[in-house]
Structure 1
Amino acid sequence: MKTIVVITMFLLSYSVLSAQNSSSADKDRDALNKVLHTFMNSLKTKDSTSLYNLFYEGHVTWIGVYKEKTQAKRSQNSPNILDYKTSDYKTWFRTTTQGATKEEKFYNVNIDTDGSIASVTFDFSFWAGGRKGLWGKESWGLIKINNEWKITSVIFSMEQENISPEPDRNQ
């Protein structure tokens, strides 16, 4: 009888812990999805305060690499042109939000987290004035500080739509 009670207690405590871990993982995924939504909305509405709040206060890696077809076209006039560009989120935001309304759309989002760090990868398309200009793959590294997710790195590939149209990805 004691054995049955011990096994039952163990299974109940395991079930409770699994439910708590699942609930915590769901909360993290919801919070990370909110970071994505806030990023997209901040860009569209040109809200620098909301966007800047998403980032870690220290150094944040920001680098984009041109995909092969776009780089080949770019290098026709300038053979030594770099196949990447670096920036920081504040400079990127200030230059990007000038002129027509900009929008970045994310799809095929994949979130991987242990509750303290996270990686978020997705396909993206970048739009200006209602027209797609760029598309590619993007990856963010995030850390949780004081129970808030902060972006620590942004790396992405870029293909210009007018050089190599984005394949249909069932958006």
Structure 2
Amino acid sequence: MNRFAPIGLFLAAAIGFPCATLAATATSPAQQDIQHVVDAFQKAIVAKDGKTLGGLFLPQGGAWFTVLSDDSYARIKARSPSAPKYKQGSYTEFVQMVATSKEAMEEKFSNVRIDTDGAVASVYFDFVFLLNGAQNNRGSETWHLIKTDGGWKITSMTYSANLPPKG
């Protein structure tokens, strides 16, 4: 799956993706439950566990957007003048890409912030997405979640994409 057609796997990320989570200070039971969703998301990427990863999302869909940073957009646009600054995707495309990729993937999170009233929540963090151990992109990511009868589910995801500097 190509999350941003003109640039291939640069966004095999996104979202954010495992094991080195710097957890937010989860003080309430709801925050602790949401932190478990964050941890499960990261672990599922590393394990290429599409079933677990897909189960973290509300099946009815929602918003999924990738937005290139100004620098990354300028670099992409120089190679492909018709390249868009943002792209809409879906969690199902991401799950399929993770589950079927032959590449090793990991998304490391930092500065995780969880806000919730116990019914709805937002999670905001910085991420680095690694592909075969090398930085594929980095940026900031935000999720919206709702508490369902089956636990917390991600309803939308938006993230920025900053490509690594030219080497």
> Which TM-score tier does this pair reach, normalised by the shorter chain?
0.7 to 0.9
Which structure 2 residue ranges, 5 or more long, are not aligned? 1-26
Aligned positions of 1:9-88 closer than 5 A: 26-88=28-90
* Aligned alpha-carbon RMSD (Å): 1.5
The structure whose Rg is larger is 1
1:115 aligns with 2:118: yes
Q: TM-score, normalised by structure 1?
A: 0.78
Q: Percent identity?
A: 33
Q: Does 1:130 align with 2:133?
A: yes
Residue 92 of structure 1: how far off its partner (Å): 1.4
The structural deviation recorded for 1:148 is: 0.6
CA contact (8 A) 1:111 1:118 kept: yes
Q: Which moved more, 1:118-127 or 1:155-164?
A: 155-164
Aligned position for 1:102: 105
CA distance in 1, matches of 2:161, 2:60: 25
The answer to whether the 8 A contact 2:61-2:91 is kept is no
Give unmatched runs, 5+ long, in structure 1. Answer: 1-24, 165-171
SS in 2 for 1:75: helix
SS of equivalent to 2:59: coil
The 2-side partners of 1:70 and 1:104 are apart by 19
Question: Following superposition of structure 1 onto structure 2, how do residues 137-156 of structure 1 map, counting pairs within 5 Å?
Answer: 137-146=140-149, 148-156=151-159
Query: What amino acid does structure 2 have at the position aligned with 1:95?
Result: M
Conserved in 1, the CA contact under 8 Å of 2:114 and 2:123? yes
Listed one character per residue, the Cα deviations across residues 90-131 of structure 1 (whole Å, up to 9, x for unaligned) are 211222441211011111001100000000000001001111
Measure the CA separation in 1 of the matches of 2:71 and 2:166: 7
Q: Distance between the aligned counterparts of 1:140 and 1:123, measured in 2?
A: 12
Higher helix share: 1
Secondary structure of the residue that 1:31 maps to in structure 2? helix
**Counterpart of 1:50 in 2: which secondary structure?**
helix
Report the TM-score when normalising by structure 2.
0.80
**Which portions of structure 1, spanning 4 or more consecutive aligned residues, are displaced by more than 2 angstroms?**
none
Higher relative contact order structure (alpha carbons within 8 Å, sequence separation ≥ 6): 2
What displacement does 1:80 show? 2.0
